[in-house]
Amino acid sequence: MFTIEEIEKANSKVKSGTDFPKLVQELIGLGIKTNNIYVSDGHAEYFGSDGYNLKTAANYPSQEIAKKSDGEKFKNYLKIHQQGQTDYPTFCRHSAETGVEKWTLDFEKMTCTYFDKTGNELLVEQIPSP
């Protein structure tokens, strides 16, 4: 089964959103099926086979998630992040600013779903191949 150290090693290679597809392939290779990333402090939950799961500690100081979501503004921030114009901390700040509470990666469906504070889906996108 996968470890926090293996996940951290894979994440350390990511410099911008353009690196995301390669990261996904590494996480799949570790045996991760799904994971949730929480924008408030960056902690994550990773789920594998047979109920195996791990939770990371916070990755940055807590930040407030906007009460009202702005899906269009978020989509613009996501687009520029995926083009490599912002780093991960900036993307997390933009996500909080636009009301994104968490995103869920489903490596079996190859989707990334972004949720607001009330659990509504703001966006579902296909994870691109590397």
In whole angstroms, give the CA distance from residue 47 to residue 120: 22
* 3-state secondary structure at position 112: strand
Average pLDDT estimate for 46-75: 95
Tell whether the model's pLDDT for residue 16 goes beyond 90. no
Whether the per-residue pLDDT at 33 is higher than 90: the answer is yes
Look at residue 88 in the predicted model and tell me its pLDDT. Answer: 86
* pTM listed for this prediction: 0.90
Confidence of residue 119 (pLDDT cuts 50, 70, 90): very high
Provide mean pLDDT across the span 107-118. Answer: 96
Number of separate helices (H) and strands (E) present in the chain? 4, 6
- β-pairing, 44-47 vs 111-116, is unpaired
Which residues, at least 6 apart from 18, have a Cβ–Cβ distance to it below 8 Å?
82, 83, 84
- Which CATH number applies to 4-49+63-126: 1.10.10.10, 2.60.40.10, 1.10.275.10, 3.30.1810.10? 3.30.1810.10
Instruction: Give the span between the Cα atoms of 79 and 35, in whole angstroms.
Output: 21
What confidence category does residue 93 fall into, taking pLDDT thresholds of 50, 70 and 90? very high
| Confidence at 66, pLDDT banded by 50, 70, 90 | very high
Sheet of strand 44-47, all strands in order from the earlier edge strand to the far edge: 53-55, 44-47, 34-38, 100-106, 111-116, 121-126
Q: What is the rounded average pLDDT of the residues 27-42?
A: 96
Average of per-residue pLDDT across 102-107: 97
